[in-house]
Amino acid sequence: MPAIQPFHLAFPVHDLNAARTFYGDVLGCAEGRSSNEWIDFDFFGHQLVAHLAPASGGPADSNEVDGKHVPVPHFGVVLPMEQWQALADRLQKAGTKFEIEPYIRFKGEVGEQATMFFFDPSRNALEFKAFADIGQLFAK
């Protein structure tokens, strides 16, 4: 696989202090530049920017995947399995309420993956996943 370029995602939050605590303390993302209207985070090597937008809403819909209701829209990162498990453990210890608890999706099938879904304090949906075999990432 070629080296992956960092992506940039700007997204709305209702409260910058809550975002700082969640993304910084709970997820462990280092903080970069900030102002009184936005905060840059190092989101596993990608640039994530929380913009203050108090009137924005959360996810409006979901799609069924593997018998579970997946929030739409959502974003996240594919992690190595050990890092995914460590994050799941840290989130559980922090009392995170999961929309979809950590589990193995498509077990024994093409595309088998570990996944979990949860919301940040502004109701932005996040998914973190991992593959025992990263070659399954785009497998059909």
- Domain total in the chain: 2
What pLDDT shows up at residue 99? 95
Predicted confidence (pLDDT) at residue 2 exceeds the cutoff of 60: no
Same domain for 77 and 123, yes or no, is yes
Most distant pair of Cα atoms in the chain: their distance = 48
Same domain for 78 and 132, yes or no, is yes
Same domain for 83 and 131, yes or no, is yes
Q: What's the full length of the chain, in residues?
A: 140
Predicted confidence (pLDDT) at residue 1 exceeds the cutoff of 60: no
What pLDDT shows up at residue 55? 84
Same domain for 72 and 13, yes or no, is no
Is 118 a member of any domain?
A: yes
pLDDT tens-digit readout, 78-91: 999 999 999 999 99
Same domain for 20 and 82, yes or no, is no
Is 31 a member of any domain?
A: yes
> In the chain, what percentage of residues exceed pLDDT 90?
81
Same domain for 46 and 69, yes or no, is no
Q: What CATH number did the domain enclosing 110 receive? A: 3.10.180.10
Is 58 a member of any domain?
A: no
**Which residues span the domain enclosing 86?**
63-136
Same domain for 42 and 69, yes or no, is no
pLDDT tens-digit readout, 96-138: 999 999 999 999 999 999 999 999 999 999 999 999 999 989 9
Distance CA 119, CA 121 (A): 7
Q: In 3D, which of 113, 24, 109, 52 has the Cα closest to residue 77?
A: 113
Q: What CATH number did the domain enclosing 35 receive? A: 3.30.720.120
